Amino acid sequence: MAEQKSYRWLSAGALVALALAVFVAVVAVRHAASDHTRATDVKVRADQTMQRIEAEADRLENEAAAP
């Protein structure tokens, strides 16, 4: 009977460890998705800023070239 009890605790411990591993995996995936979204947002903002700078440079060049 003692062996059955120890196996029961071992099974319970394995289930707890599995649940913890799943939880850690879910948190890691959510964190990675959040980082990816944030990086993508930064890239979009940088691209928009570069387009505005280029448009301003083009405007200034056109003004300077006009007689």
15 part of a folded domain:
no
29: number of Cβ within 10 Å: 10
54 part of a folded domain:
yes
pTM of the predicted structure, to 2 decimals: 0.54
2: number of Cβ within 10 Å: 6
Q: What's the total number of domains in the chain?
A: 1
66 part of a folded domain:
yes
41 part of a folded domain:
yes
Residue range 1-51, pLDDT digits in tens:
455 667 888 888 999 999 999 999 999 999 999 888 888 888 889 999 999
Say what the pLDDT of residue 1 is.
Answer: 45
Say what the pLDDT of residue 29 is.
Answer: 95
10 part of a folded domain:
no
18 part of a folded domain:
no
H/E segment holding residue 48: helix 2-65
The range of the structural domain enclosing residue 52 comes to: 25-67
